[in-house]
Amino acid sequence: MANSFISGTMGSVAQPVFSKAGDDTGRQERVFRKMLRFTSFLAFPLMFGLALVAHEFILLTVGSKWEPCVPLLQILCIGGAFLPLQSLYQNYIISRGRSDFYLRMVALQILLQIGITLSLASHGITVMVTAFSILNVIFTTFWHFAMRRIHPLDTLEVLKDTIPFMAIAVLVMFATYYITLPFDGLWQLLLARIVVAAVLYYFIMRLLNVAILNECLKLIWKKRN
């Protein structure tokens, strides 16, 4: 549900924006890369953050009998962090009128998912979920190279637009985990981890003067006025 919310939100914005860019190749690339940075800016901290609070979240929402599901949720969150990026690639490909590419890629991804499920079923659900999440991460590169057949997007530039946000999100979650160890009680720990992670991520973004954050703050301030 978390991944669907992020992907759905970005998809509702991306499709009309890509279409509006028209046939201007330079503008298309600028728009796509900006959307890619914004998606990475949101998806990685939100999904990794959910993985961080998975234990408290599960116990508080559905009870202790579901505690064995905590590792599964954490694994799915890691793989799910990359699905909004895939959604962005999909929307770009569709906006360029290449639904044939989209259909073939989705069919391939589904077949691989089914193959993984069937071949690893005897090894247990944790192994299947882990393989499924690894496939999600790897298949993001498949979407990237599929898009390159439509638009020659520089792979190095894409890495520059995504990897820093992922690395910072991982660093923030590790730091938050150790900072919040003294807290007792599920509610206290849940709230403490959310607040600490949000504050750390915000201040690191401000310290690095990240353009996406500055633009978001300007937009929020403009709407309030």
Q: How confident is the model at residue 93 (pLDDT cuts 50, 70, 90)?
A: confident
pLDDT, residue 200, reads 96
The pLDDT of residue 162 is above 80: yes
**Residue range 54-91, pLDDT digits in tens:** 999 999 999 889 999 999 999 999 999 999 999 888 88
> Is-contact 46 2, C-beta < 8 A?
yes
The pLDDT of residue 92 is above 90: no
**Residue range 185-196, pLDDT digits in tens:** 899 999 999 999
pLDDT, residue 167, reads 96
Amino acid at 61: T
Q: How confident is the model at residue 27 (pLDDT cuts 50, 70, 90)?
A: confident
Q: How confident is the model at residue 224 (pLDDT cuts 50, 70, 90)?
A: low
pLDDT, residue 190, reads 94
Can you tell me the mean pLDDT for 15-27? Answer: 68
The pLDDT of residue 31 is above 90: no
State pTM to two decimals.
0.88
Size of the chain, expressed as the number of residues it contains:
225
pLDDT, residue 101, reads 84
pLDDT, residue 66, reads 93
pLDDT, residue 225, reads 61
Can you tell me the mean pLDDT for 102-114? Answer: 91
Residue among 204, 91, 85, 67 at smallest CA distance from 138: 85
pLDDT, residue 24, reads 67
Give the mean pLDDT of the chain: 87
Q: Where are the domains of the chain?
A: 2-224
Percent of the chain with pLDDT over 90: 53
pLDDT, residue 5, reads 74
CB under 8 A, 24+ apart: contacts of 46-49:
46/2, 46/6, 46/81, 47/2, 47/3, 47/6, 47/77, 47/78, 47/80, 47/81, 48/77, 48/78, 48/81, 48/169, 48/170, 48/172, 48/173, 49/169, 49/173, 49/193, 49/194, 49/197
Can you tell me the mean pLDDT for 109-130? Answer: 91
Can you tell me the mean pLDDT for 198-215? Answer: 90
pLDDT, residue 96, reads 78
Which token pair is 127?
């192994």
